Amino acid sequence: MNPARRTTAATAVVFAMAGGLLTAVVPAAPAAAAPNCPSPVFTRQFFAGTGFTGQPKKTDCDGSVKESWSGSPARGLPKDRFAVRWTVTRDFGSGGPFSFSVEARGGIRVYLDGARKVDLWNSDSATRRKTVNVTVPKGKHTLRVDLVNRTGPAKVGFGYAPRTSAQVDRVKPLVPTSPAVRYDRASGKARISWAKNKEMDLAGYRVHRRVAGEAFPSRALATTTATSYTDTPPATGRTYFYEVRAHDKAGNRSAGTADRGAVTVDRTPPAPVTGLSSTGTTAGNRVSWTASASGDTVHYAVRSSRAGAPDVPNGLTVVKGTSYHDATAPVGQEVEYRVHAVDAYGNSSPVAVTRAARPAPAEVPVPKATSGVPTDEATVITFDHAAGDGTDTHRFRLYQRRNTTEGWTLVTTVPSGGAGTARHTTAQAGRTHYHLVAVDAQGREGAPSEAVTVDRETPVHPTPPSPPRLTVDREGAPRTGPFVVHVKPAAADVNRKLGGYQWEFSGACGSSNPQRAGGTAATLTWQPPWNGPCMLTVTALDHYGTRSGNPAVREFMIR
């Protein structure tokens, strides 16, 4: 069975009584569903008559309003006395100044959101044209064009366009929406994307890039008419932020989108070290350099190789500081050193090269370092130099290093006739290693002593403690109550670590003999046995318990 016929046969028939006669009433066929015309395509409707009343005879989509009819414009319509309506709702973005241009033979009216902007309603016998300037607000708005034909041929044309003169258009485009950045660590590329602006006068987009912590440069990274851009930011491990700004044909620019960041991989080596030098000593070769200017340097790598075979490295040493001591350098043979600054990702700077030949030891006795003692004013190294009192020994050099991977640094020079002590007056807190070397009259060094290790709790203080501050309270009844003295550090020593105080009462109140009180603040109590003047002397002790500096002195009268 034919489906169409079955549908027709199944159509309901309604019987009604009219004037005593039974008649059949067949329902009218429903109007065709209106098409879904995507913006900015117009929805077009054809009406019989000039009043735009009743159901449209036809509805379709029209990309533009431009027609000319000498007869009926659509099936079921007469050649005269018909009406046509075009309607579209679209997003105008930021809006701004527009021109509406019409031409028509017949009556024509143009509306924006229901407000009439063009009115040539009595235009039947001749073609008329008109252009009006209209300011369209931002966002979505509805345009409607109405044409009526009363008699004769019909003609219609309508167009709308933004006015792009910089003297007229001062409306900025809207900020682009939906900004996003996707970074590919394998390729090192960042893809910046955003949604298309709705402005009809849009000229394109500008992409800007900045480093975290800095402002955007005034000049754009790129200009494009697309809605995405692929950038290759420097592979430095830093974060780069992007924003997009729209610009129109009049030169107006939008504000920037919200910043979107990409954390790059780090493939950029640190800046190379500078000032590389090497000194040959009896204790080995000392290599030193000025630190890399790059803040992401985490350590240095030192390679050494013998001259004549630089491509066969003898070893690689990781160094935290800016010097390296090569105790295994061959005597009298040139060695090549290469120093790399290395970051956390293993990137290393270009190689720097220097050469040094370790000299043969001088024929001088080897001193013996016996002890190292930290004091507040210095670290004192005691050594036995009796074996070095020969005529060949001219002086001694004291070297220090903070850890076993650093090179040795000269601390001080001691004459051969010295008292057997060397002082390090700029020692820092922590562990330090020392050794001594005897030097002959020609400046050649002998073999070094065994190392002495010293652990300091505080750095060296260049001045002794100042006299402390005293506050005296008298307790108890006269002749029976003790004196109580509160001791605090001098203002200059408030942040200094002290070892305590030494104090003594004397005079008519008797002698307490020297006594010691610990702690930064102390309380001293003394029961005076006699009447008369009583003298109190208090001296601050440094961290290592050495009495130094002037005392604080107070005199009291016992009643």
Instruction: Look at residues 233, 207, 231 and name the one whose alpha carbon lies nearest to residue 219.
Output: 207
User: Which residues are CB-neighbours of 230 under 8 A, at least 6 positions away?
Assistant: 189, 190, 191, 192
Residue 507 pLDDT > 70, yes or no?
yes
Beta partners for residue 71, in sequence order? none
User: Which residues are CB-neighbours of 240 under 8 A, at least 6 positions away?
Assistant: 190, 209, 210, 211, 212, 233, 234, 261, 262, 264
E strands, 451-512, are 452-456, 469-474, 483-488, 500-507
CA dihedral 48, 53, 54, 59 (to 10 degrees): 60
**Correct CATH for 274-357 of 3.90.180.10, 2.40.30.10, 2.60.40.10, 3.20.10.10:** 2.60.40.10
Q: Say whether domain 180-263 belongs to CATH 2.40.440.10.
A: no
What is the tally of helices (H) and strands (E) in the chain?
A: 1, 41
Each residue of 533-545: pLDDT tens digit?
Answer: 778 888 988 888 8
List every span in the chain annotated with CATH 2.60.120.260.
42-162
- CATH fold label, 368-456: Immunoglobulin-like (2.60.40)
List every span in the chain annotated with CATH 2.60.40.10.
180-263, 274-357, 368-456, 469-558
Each residue of 404-440: pLDDT tens digit?
Answer: 777 788 899 988 876 789 999 999 999 999 999 888 8
User: Would you state the structure tokens that stand for residue 180, as one six-digit string?
Assistant: 């996003």
Q: What is the pLDDT of residue 550?
A: 77
| pLDDT confidence bin for 16, thresholds 50/70/90 | very low
Residue 512 carries which side chain, given as an amino acid letter? S
- CATH fold label, 469-558: Immunoglobulin-like (2.60.40)
The answer to whether 278 touches 285, Cβ cutoff 8 Å, is yes
E strands, 238-392, are 239-248, 260-263, 274-281, 284-290, 297-306, 315-319, 323-326, 334-343, 352-357, 368-374, 379-384
Has this prediction a pTM greater than 0.85?
Answer: no
Summarize the confidence of residues 54-64 as an average pLDDT.
95
The answer to whether 358 touches 281, Cβ cutoff 8 Å, is yes
Summarize the confidence of residues 116-140 as an average pLDDT.
92
Summarize the confidence of residues 269-279 as an average pLDDT.
90
User: Would you state the structure tokens that stand for residue 82, as one six-digit string?
Assistant: 């018909």
Averaged confidence pLDDT in the chain = 85
C-beta contacts of 36-42 below 8 A and 24+ residues apart: 37/61, 37/62, 37/88, 39/88, 39/89, 39/90, 39/91, 40/88, 40/90, 41/88, 42/86, 42/87, 42/88, 42/145
Beta partners for residue 154, in sequence order? 69
| pLDDT confidence bin for 4, thresholds 50/70/90 | very low
Summarize the confidence of residues 227-253 as an average pLDDT.
96
The answer to whether 239 touches 212, Cβ cutoff 8 Å, is yes
Each residue of 343-365: pLDDT tens digit?
Answer: 888 888 877 777 787 778 888 88
CB count in 10 Å sphere of residue 149: 25
The answer to whether 336 touches 307, Cβ cutoff 8 Å, is yes
Residue 291 pLDDT > 80, yes or no?
yes
Question: 42-162 — its CATH code?
Answer: 2.60.120.260
Q: What angle do CA 265, 268, 273 make, to 5 degrees?
A: 145
The rounded distance, in Å, linking the Cα atoms of 297 and 291 is: 9
For tokens 């020994």, name the residue.
Answer: 393
Each residue of 176-233: pLDDT tens digit?
Answer: 999 999 999 999 999 999 999 999 999 999 999 999 999 999 999 999 999 999 999 9
DSSP string, 385-439: -GGG-STTEEEEEEEEESSTTSPPEEEEEEETTS-SEEEETTPPSEEEEEEEEEE
Beta partners for residue 485, in sequence order? 472, 524
The rounded distance, in Å, linking the Cα atoms of 411 and 166 is: 74
